[in-house]
Chain A
Amino acid sequence: MDFDLGDGAAELRLRLRGLIQENFGPNFLGAFTNNPNDLDATNSFCRLLASKGLLTLAWPKEFGGGGGSLWDQTVVREEMWAHHEPRGAQYMGLNWVGPALMAYGSDAQKAFHLPLIAAGDVIWCQGFSEPEAGSDLASLRTRAEPVGGAQGDQGWIINGQKIWTSYAGMAQWCIIAARVGGGERHEGITMFLVPMDSPGIEVRPIRSMLGPHHLNEVFFNDVLAAPDSVLGEIGGGWSVIKTALAHERVGIARYARCERLLSLIGAELSPHWSDLPSTLHVAWVRALVQVRVARLLAYRTVHAQERGEVPDVAASAARIAVTQCDQSVAEVLFSALDHRSLEAGSDAPLRGAVEDHWRYAQAATVASGTIEVQRMIVAKALLRGESV
């Protein structure tokens, strides 16, 4: 029994923190702002990480990665999320689009797409959810009709609407789930890799408390996808989605930002921190414990993956804990700031990081699979006699 990630992890952590400090000002709160410089800075940072072999540190060497361990990958995820994800929108391509391509892509797809992701030169978005297919993703209605034969020898015509699509306005590529043929539920679902500048794609931003760029509608009107745009088998998209979601569910280390903000808040409010009500100090330590538990549940999932297991249930359990922790910590931090929690921007407490965290945390229990779906997964496992 050993919970030390080792000297290598500590060195990696310090190296990443150093690079972030050198390349971002103190006001950086992520790429998703109305200031285009923030997006530019994250794209530059991705290229810098790529040049140092850190962007795809955890990818297998055969795909141009560093062959790092899952724990290296975990450290990268923690440090990036803790510091407002300086990879910007590219984390999605790195965390799961790349791995899905490795698992299901043709040689040509791998040869084309993986180097672009590994170089930090491309942003991906994912077209999964639809207005009538949220948690019940298998009821999606977007359709792809083959052109030139049932195998789409001359391409595919895609029609439909996607929603909640993060970074669609920034992305160069979309991985989209569409139905082929007349199957129901999981049958016929097929994944396509589509350039976002294809004629017929329209992106409409959705105003939300999360801020700009996070949520969009994407309309596909007679979009012609190339014959070689299918990822995996025709009708085999559900397996790709499951792989993608498994990576995504452990992908965001929300607890890391929680830990960082909890560690900073005392100094931020100094010397008045000690004058705050004792109930607040107690709430703060409770939050520290909750964050530690969330991190440990995430680590349990990583450890199972390391042993070659597919820890679906453990990942759902971790996700329940992590997302609830995100929201609880947001409330504790807001309580500490009191009326100043309403302030945003560089003059706000912690330069707006707490205000930004609270807003983003509101969607934590919905994004990437609602907490209700995670509870259903956990409960069904329990009722089958499995341990959680």
Chain B
Amino acid sequence: MNPVLPEEAVQVADAARRAFNDLGGVELARHSELDPQQREKIVGVLGQLGLDALDPRSDPISLAAAAASCAEAGRVALPYPLAASLVRDSEGRPTAAIPESLARVDHADLFSEWRVGTLDGSAGFVASDATGPLHTRLGPFVGTLSDLRPAAVSATDILCQQLLVSWTVLGALENAVNLATFHVNSRIQFGKPIATFQAVQFQLADAAVTVAGLRELAGFTLWRYSSVGEAARADVFALRLHALESARAVFRTCQQLHGAAGVCDEYDISVLTRMMQPALRLPVGIEQTAALLADAVVMDGFAGLFPLGGRA
């Protein structure tokens, strides 16, 4: 029993953190919103980091390195579909899960062709001709792939992308708690830091425990996916559900603890909250993820201290 990420993965993630910070950290997301071409800077950096050659499906350490790097991307709301790009096919096409009704993916315009599929495994496509992006505050880079050609898309790869997206959300939430902690320590009201108020402390503690739990679940799910592959479907959905529910609670708390600043883009918490929305809504949001999980548990069981039936 060892819940700690392998040292090799930690080193890759440390390098990614330094590189993403050198790009400006959350500031790069702000700039990219005004000038989407800024995102192209990221491609070269991923190459320098070796992330363009990393295949998370090759071995458990590569998977852990990919996951930890995605967490670093989430920490700064990196305006790039890192999770999808890490799960490439032999043609270099990124892999992403899409909604059943529309082939929407974040940063669709950054690749000429994608490999996409639904979460339930019922449909798969090679897709191109990105239209959009939406240019909205909550989905500035979300585009729609209009040319869909049916293709076999590995369910395991779709799960891998979803696993890495959850790690991205984890990184964003860890930073959200850090930002809120810094803010409540430095914000003076009634003559003292607002961190001295118990109501503030309790909210912060709950957010931190939520994120700590998400990190443990994310590690466990990495291990499950490495161990059993596609049979970890319920585990990956469980992680996604918990990531989405954690995000709803933790972003809300951390924005609230910033006061009005929590909705102002001058503060990282606002940008982080906005930029993570596509990861939280695509391909499906909380309730549909929960329904998918319920089906998966019936089909596959759910690993634990006591058996739940299913095939697992």
Contact = CB atoms under 8 A, between A and B. Distances in A.
B4 interface: yes
Contact of A3 (B1, B211, B293, B302): B1
A314 B4 CA distance: 14
Contacts of A2: 1-2, 223
B241 A286 contact: yes
B201 A383 contact: yes
Contacts of B287: 282
A297 B223 contact: no
A285 B290 contact: yes
Interface in B1-49: 1-6
Interface in A264-316: 264, 266, 278, 281-282, 284-286, 288-289, 291-297, 299-300, 303, 314
A78 interface: yes
A297 B201 contact: no
A264 B306 CA distance: 9
Nearest to A286: B290
A359 interface: no
Interface stretch (B99-107, B130-138, B141-149, B214-222): B214-222
Nearest to B291: A282
Secondary structure call for the B interface? helix
A317 B214 CA distance: 12
A379 B201 contact: yes
A320 B216 contact: no
Interface string B178-218: 00010011000000000100100110111011011110110
Contacts of A372: 202
A3 B4 CA distance: 10
A71 interface: yes
Contacts of A278: 291, 294
B304 A317 contact: no
Contacts, number: 147
B220 A256 contact: no
Nearest to A291: B304
Contact of A6 (B1, B205, B209): B1
A71 B1 contact: yes
From B1, B5, B6, B309, name the one whose CB has the most chain A CB atoms within 10 angstroms. Answer: B1
A259 interface: yes
Interface string B92-116: 0000000000000000000000000
Interface residues of A, number: 48
Contact of A1 (B5, B209, B242): B5
A380 interface: yes
Interface string A372-388: 10111011101100001
Contact of B307 (A4, A5, A263, A388): A263
A260 B290 CA distance: 21
Contacts of A382: 177, 181, 204-205, 208
A80 interface: no
Nearest to B6: A1
A245 B82 CA distance: 44
A261 to B, nearest CB: 9
B205 A320 contact: yes
A372 B198 CA distance: 10
A288 B201 contact: no
B305 interface: yes
11 contacts: A1-B3, A1-B60, A1-B64, A3-B1, A13-B305, A260-B306, A281-B294, A293-B214, A320-B209, A379-B201, A383-B184
- Pairs of residues from A and B, 7 with the lowest C-beta to C-beta distance, nearest first: A379-B201, A296-B216, A263-B306, A378-B205, A375-B205, A293-B213, A379-B205
Given A1-B222, A4-B1, A299-B3, 6 more contacts: A3-B1, A6-B1, A291-B304, A293-B213, A303-B3, A314-B212
Interface of A: 1-6, 13, 71, 78, 82, 256, 259-260, 263-264, 266, 278, 281-282, 284-286, 288-289, 291-297, 299-300, 303, 314, 317, 320-321, 372, 374-376, 378-380, 382-383, 388
